[in-house]
Amino acid sequence: MFTSGFRSFATIALLTASAAIAHAENPMVGGAAMYADKNIVENAVNSKDHTTLVAAVKAAGLVETLEGKGPFTVFAPTNEAFDALPAGTVDTLLKPENKDKLTTVLTCHVVSADAMSSAIAKMVKDDGGEHDVKTVGGCVLKAKDDGGKITLTDETGGTATVTIADVKQSNGVIHVIDKVLLPKG
């Protein structure tokens, strides 16, 4: 009886450890585990640091797109990044009549590729210190390496830093950033 009980305990412990190891390669985001076998939306909804981004994605009608096959690289601004925008900006963007503008802002955070930070860093190095990143929304971001951290400068001159890189998704990758990237004009 002791042996079979021990075997059951050992089996459960092994399965639990295996599950933890399988997900250990992905960093936690917003206090939540991020699973490489879930898509961008399925993971983002669990991050307490990305509730504004998730609300904006829903308001823009981009949920189905970001649940799609991809691959996508999403530079995901935190709630603090949205809060740093001028007062009223987020509320204005979330209004139905501003859906097109919101969609443009959000798609300026998305690239049609699965670009891990090492690939971005290599492109930056190969291009002499700065690499143009063309987004789904038509924006061109300037990627740079700032002491081992990737930065992205938007078309208005604002610069975001990747604070959590390489969060693998079933349809791409998320890089958490500390500023909202804006299109020109």
Domain ranges of the chain: 27-177
Rounded Cα–Cα distance for residues 91 and 99 (Å): 12
Question: CA dist 38 to 25, 31, 62, 80, 171, Å?
Answer: 14, 17, 17, 25, 8
Does the N-terminal peptide bond of residue 71 adopt cis geometry, omega within 30 degrees of 0? Answer: yes
Spatial CA neighbour of 171 closest among 82, 63, 92: 63
Tokens of 143: 């990627």
Rounded Cα–Cα distance for residues 124 and 128 (Å): 6
Residues 27-177: name the CATH superfamily. Answer: FAS1 domain (2.30.180.10)
Residue 9, C-beta contacts closer than 8 angstroms, at least 6 positions apart? none
Tokens of 22: 């399988």
How do the pLDDT tens digits run along the chain, 185 residues long? 444 444 444 444 343 444 444 445 899 999 999 999 999 999 999 999 999 999 999 999 999 999 999 999 999 999 999 999 999 999 999 999 999 999 999 999 999 999 999 999 999 999 999 999 999 999 999 999 998 899 999 999 999 999 999 999 999 999 999 999 999 97
- pTM score, two decimals? 0.85
The DSSP symbol for 89 reads H
Rounded Cα–Cα distance for residues 92 and 169 (Å): 30
Tokens of 156: 């208005």
Strands (E), the chain: 72-77, 110-111, 131-134, 140-146, 149-153, 159-169, 172-177
